[in-house]
Structure 1
Amino acid sequence: MTKTRVYVVGVGMTKFEKPGRRADVCYPDFAKEAVTKALADAGIKFEEVQQAVVGYVYGDSTCGQRAVYEVGMTGIPVYNVNNNCSTGSSALYLAKQIIESGNSDCVLALGFEKMERGSLSSKYFDRANPMERHITEMGELTEIGAGPMAAQIFGNAGKEHMKKYGTKPEHFGKIAWKNHKHSVNNPYSQFRDEYTLEQIMKSPQVVEGVLTKLQCCPTSDGSGAAILASEQFVRRHGLECQAVEIVGMEMATDPESTFADKSLMKIAGYDMTRLATERLFAKSGYKPQDVQVVELHDCFSANELVTYEALGLCAEGKAGEFIDRGDNTYGGKFVVNPSGGLISKGHPLGATGLAQCSELCWQLRGLAEKRQVDGAKLALQHNLGLGGAVIVALYRLGFPAAANAKL
C-alpha cells in the first residue's frame, strides 16, 4: 500500500518578541496572526481546514480552542498538545499522521506561547517533576549549581564534549556568533543585533567555562502555523507550485542509554536525537550529506554543537573542526539556523517547531530573501524537548517542475 504523501501548503508566523512587550496582546492574537498568514499563503479559507492540532506549554486546558476560535468556529476537532520545547513540531507530527490516516485532507498545525520573563521554572511543587530523574542522574555525574536548570543540563553536555574531544569554549561562542549574525536578516527574529566573538565570550557567565548569556536563547511570546494537505487537496486547489513535501518525520523519546550510559550528553538528549535521525534517513533513503539547510534546536550553543554529531552532519568528536571550517554557515557544507535559531530568533516553546517549519519552507520555495541558501533542495529540522521528546524531519519541494515553472 502506497503511503499518503503530506505537504505543507501554507506557513505563517509572528515576529517573536520579549514576553509582555505589548500588554494589550495575548496568545489568541498571536495565533490569529500566524494562522491568518498561513491561510493567505495557501490561498484557502479556514472553512477548508478539517482538523487542528495546537501546541503550547504554558496555559490552561483548551487554550487551543480559544486560539482557533479567533479565526473561525466551524466545529472541527481541536487537539491540545504539550511536549515541552518540542511542542510545536509535535503538533506538526500529529497533523501529518491525521492526513496519512486518510481521516482528513487539510489539517492546521498551530503553536503559540505567552511566556514569563526570565529562566524557565517549575509550576507545580506538590507532585513528581517530569525532569527529576534527569536531574538526579546529572547530579551523580557532576555538581549541580545555582543557575537555571536547563542551562546546566546543556552546559554540562558541552563540558563533557570538551573533556572527551578537546572542544574549546570558543567553539560554543562561534555558534552564537553565527546565529546572531544570521538573525540580522530575519524580520521575525526577537534579536537582530550582530556581535563580535569577543563580545559573546565576555558577556555574563551562565554556566562557567561553557555558556555565556549571548549563547542562551531568551523566553519569548509568539506563534507559528502550518497548513498540511494531502496530494488530492494540493491538486484540487492547484497548489503544486508551492507545496513542500514532508519527506519523512520521526519522533523519539529517551532510550535506556539516556540514563544507563552515565553520560551528560545523553541526559541532554543526544541518543534521542541520534535514534530519530537514524530512523529518518534509513526510511527516506537520504543521507545527512544530501541536506543543504538545517533548522536545529539551539536553545544553548552547547546543544547546537553536540547536535551536529547526533544528526550526522559531522563525525563524532569532530564538531570543533566542523565549526572551524565554517561548515555550519553560508559558504560551507550546510547552513545551520539561517533564521538565527532559538538563540536570536527567540524560543516561545509551543511555536518554535512551527517557526522552524516556516523557515525551511521559505528556503525551499526561494522566499527567504537575504537569508536565502543557494541551491536549497533538501531541508532538515530538529526540535528537542527535555523530558523527553525529539522530532526530526526532512522537507523538499513536492512538485519541483511546477515550482520552477512559476519562477
Structure 2
Amino acid sequence: MSNKVYVAGVGMTKFIKPRDTYGYEELGLEASAKALVDAGINYDEVQRAVAGYVYGDSTCGQRVIYQLGLTGIPVYNVNNNCSTGSTALAMGRDLIRSGLADVILCVGFEKMERGSLGAKFTDRADPLGRLADKMFETNEASKASVACQFFGNAAAEYIEKTNGNPDAIPMIAQVNHAHSVNNPYSQFQDVYTLEQIKNSPKVHKISTKLTCCPTSDGAAAAVLISEKYLQSHPDLQSQAIEIAAQSLHTDVHNVFDGSSVSLIGDGMTRLAVNEVYKTANITPDDVQVVELHDCFAANELVVLDALGLSKPGKACELVEKGDITYGGKYVVNPSGGLISKGHPLGATGLAQCAELCWHLRGWTTNRAVPHTRYCLQHNLGLGGAVVVTLYKRADGKEAPVNPAVKNDGRARLGYNPAVEVRHLTREQFEAAASHKASDKFSYGGNKLVPAYTSSKL
C-alpha cells in the first residue's frame, strides 16, 4: 500500500481586519467549497474532515462543515495555537497514510478580536506560563504582548551571539511587505522603505510595528487524497501536489536551557526540519520557495537558521545578501508572509499550503520563482508545536511556466485563484455541497444558501 498523500485542491478567503464583516462559518464554508471545486470533488466523496481554529466553542468545525451536508462523516476539531492549520493538515495526512480514508477535507478558520492577543481564561493555568516565567528570569518585561516579547528577545539574543546586524529585522519586514503587492489575499499590500519600518512605533526591543503581523479574520482549506484516488482520477495529475515529507513535533528538552531562542521552539523546529530533509533525501540547497512563520520578523530571522537556510549563525548575512527574495538563493514568503498577509491563527498553516501548491502548479504567474521543484513550509505554535512540510509536484518535475488552462481548478472556478480573489458563487456552492444528503444544514427550514454567497457579494 502506498503512503503517498497529495493536495488535490486548495481554497482561501481574503484575509481581512477583524471587523465583524463575516462569521467564521461563512469564511470556513467559502474556503472549503473553493478547495472542493478546485479539486473537482463533491462533498459526498469526503470521508473525514479536520477543522482547525483557536478561538471558538466546542464543535465549530461541525458548524462550518455541516453546511456542505449532513453525511455523518467523522469531523475532528483541532487547536494547536498558531500551528493549528498545519496540524489539521498533518492529521489529515496521517488519516490517509493509515488507510482510514482516501479523501480528507482540512479547513482552518479564525474570527479574531482587534489588537494584540491576550489570555482568554483567568481561572486556569496559562499554557505559556512556564515559558513566560523562564523568559522573565533573564529578560525585563515590557508593555508589549507576551508573544512579541518572546520573539523579540530571541532575535536580540541571536543577533548578540552571532554579532549580526540588527537591521536584518527591518530588512526581513521590508521584503515581506514588498512581496505582498502580488498576493491578492493579503490583508495589507503596502510597500515601505527600510527607514519607514525602522522608524515605525517601537513595540519591543528591536521590533517595531511594521515588523509585526496583524490579527486577522480568514479561512483556508485543502483537500487531501491518496495515491489510489489520484490514479483513478488522472485529470488531477496536472495539479496534484505531493506532500513529500512532513514532521510535527513539540518542544524538546532544551526549551528551558535559559536561552530566549530555545523558548520559541528552535529545538523542535530543527528536529522537524532535519526529519523532513532526511525523509525526502534532500538538503536545504534543493529548496526554492519557503513559506515560514513570520508572526514577527524577529522570528523569521531565527527560523532561517533553524531550517538550515543559512549557515549556522549567519541568518543576518543571508538577509543582507538578498538571499530571501527574488534573485537570491531562496524566495521566502512570496505571499507576503504573516506580516502582510495576516495571521488568522487557525487558517495560517493551510494558507501557506495553498500558496506553495499554487507555485508548484505554475499558477502564480505574477510572483513565480524560476525552476521551482521543492517548496518548504514552517508553521509554529508557541507552547508548543511546529509542523514542517515539504511539497513537490506529483510528476517530480519543475513547476511549469504559465501552463495553459485545461480541465483543472482554474477551469472549474472560472478564474486563476492564485492571482485573483473572488467570492464563492451559488453555483460553486451547489457543485461542492452534498448531492445525496437531502437534509442539508438549514436556517428556518430553508435549505442553506449561505449569506456569504447570496447577500454579501
TM bucket (normalised to shorter chain) is: over 0.9
Equivalent residues in 2 for 1:86-101 (5 A)? 86-101=83-98
Deviation of residue 21 (structure 1)?
5.1
For 1:12, the equivalent position in structure 2 comes to 11
For 1:141, the equivalent position in structure 2 comes to 138
Are residue 170 (structure 1) and residue 150 (structure 2) matched? no
For 1:386, the equivalent position in structure 2 comes to 382
- C-alpha contact 2:372 2:399 (8 A) present in aligned 1: no
5+ unaligned residues in a row in structure 1: which ranges?
none
Q: 2:316 aligns with which of 309, 314, 320?
A: 320
SS at match of 1:69: helix
Q: 2:50 aligns with which of 53, 56, 60?
A: 53
Number of residue pairs matched by the alignment: 402
Give the Cα–Cα distance (whole angstroms) in 2 for the partners of residues 284 and 176 of structure 1: 30
SS at match of 2:245: strand
- C-alpha contact 1:240 1:402 (8 A) present in aligned 2: no
- 1:13 counterpart letter in structure 2: M
Q: 1:340 aligns with which of 318, 324, 336?
A: 336
Deviation of residue 78 (structure 1)?
0.3
- C-alpha contact 1:87 1:353 (8 A) present in aligned 2: yes
5+ unaligned residues in a row in structure 2: which ranges?
405-457
Give the Cα–Cα distance (whole angstroms) in 1 for the partners of residues 98 and 143 of structure 2: 47
Large movers: runs of 4+ above 2 Å: 399-407
Equivalent residues in 2 for 1:60-79 (5 A)? 60-79=57-76
Equivalent residues in 2 for 1:246-325 (5 A)? 246-259=243-256, 261-325=257-321
- C-alpha contact 2:248 2:387 (8 A) present in aligned 1: yes
Q: After the TM superposition, which of the residue ranges 152-161 and 35-44 deviates more from structure 2?
A: 35-44
Give the Cα–Cα distance (whole angstroms) in 2 for the partners of residues 222 and 250 of structure 1: 25
Are residue 207 (structure 1) and residue 201 (structure 2) matched? no
Deviation of residue 329 (structure 1)?
0.5
Residue identity over aligned pairs, in percent, reads 56
String of CA shifts for 1:152-184, please: whole Å, max 9, x gaps.
Answer: 000000110121012233110000000000000
Give the Cα–Cα distance (whole angstroms) in 1 for the partners of residues 399 and 232 of structure 2: 16
- 2:225 counterpart letter in structure 1: A
Deviation of residue 72 (structure 1)?
2.1
Give the Cα–Cα distance (whole angstroms) in 1 for the partners of residues 249 and 396 of structure 2: 30
- C-alpha contact 1:14 1:33 (8 A) present in aligned 2: yes
- 1:335 counterpart letter in structure 2: V
Q: 2:212 aligns with which of 202, 212, 216?
A: 216
- 2:279 counterpart letter in structure 1: K
For 2:451, the equivalent position in structure 1 comes to none
RMSD: 1.4
- C-alpha contact 1:222 1:348 (8 A) present in aligned 2: yes
- C-alpha contact 1:242 1:403 (8 A) present in aligned 2: no
- C-alpha contact 1:111 1:352 (8 A) present in aligned 2: yes
SS at match of 1:392: strand
SS at match of 1:153: helix
Are residue 104 (structure 1) and residue 104 (structure 2) matched? no
- C-alpha contact 2:28 2:220 (8 A) present in aligned 1: yes
SS at match of 1:70: helix
Give the Cα–Cα distance (whole angstroms) in 1 for the partners of residues 153 and 52 of structure 2: 29
Give the Cα–Cα distance (whole angstroms) in 2 for the partners of residues 365 and 400 of structure 1: 11
String of CA shifts for 1:346-379, please: whole Å, max 9, x gaps.
Answer: 0000000000000000000011121111111100
Give the Cα–Cα distance (whole angstroms) in 2 for the partners of residues 293 and 163 of structure 1: 28
SS at match of 2:80: coil
Give the Cα–Cα distance (whole angstroms) in 2 for the partners of residues 145 and 376 of structure 1: 42
- 1:390 counterpart letter in structure 2: V
String of CA shifts for 1:189-224, please: whole Å, max 9, x gaps.
Answer: 00001111111000000003x100000000000000
- 1:79 counterpart letter in structure 2: Y
Deviation of residue 399 (structure 1)?
2.2
String of CA shifts for 1:319-356, please: whole Å, max 9, x gaps.
Answer: 11101111100000000000000000000000000000
Give the Cα–Cα distance (whole angstroms) in 2 for the partners of residues 389 and 403 of structure 1: 30
Q: After the TM superposition, which of the residue ranges 235-244 and 77-86 deviates more from structure 2?
A: 235-244
Distance 1:286 1:80, change over 3 A: same
Distance 1:402 1:289, change over 3 A: closer
Distance 1:330 1:402, change over 3 A: closer
String of CA shifts for 1:34-92, please: whole Å, max 9, x gaps.
Answer: 01111111011111111000000000000000011122221110000000000000000
- C-alpha contact 2:361 2:400 (8 A) present in aligned 1: no
Name which one, 1 or 2, has greater alpha-carbon Rg. Answer: 2
- 2:148 counterpart letter in structure 1: A
Give the Cα–Cα distance (whole angstroms) in 2 for the partners of residues 341 and 4 of structure 1: 30
Give the Cα–Cα distance (whole angstroms) in 1 for the partners of residues 89 and 15 of structure 2: 19
Are residue 233 (structure 1) and residue 232 (structure 2) matched? no
SS at match of 2:326: coil
Deviation of residue 240 (structure 1)?
1.0
Are residue 194 (structure 1) and residue 184 (structure 2) matched? no
Q: After the TM superposition, which of the residue ranges 356-365 and 269-278 deviates more from structure 2?
A: 269-278
- 2:65 counterpart letter in structure 1: V
SS at match of 1:19: coil
For 1:399, the equivalent position in structure 2 comes to 395
For 2:116, the equivalent position in structure 1 comes to 119
Q: 1:152 aligns with which of 149, 152, 156?
A: 149
Q: After the TM superposition, which of the residue ranges 160-169 and 26-35 deviates more from structure 2?
A: 160-169
- C-alpha contact 2:373 2:398 (8 A) present in aligned 1: no
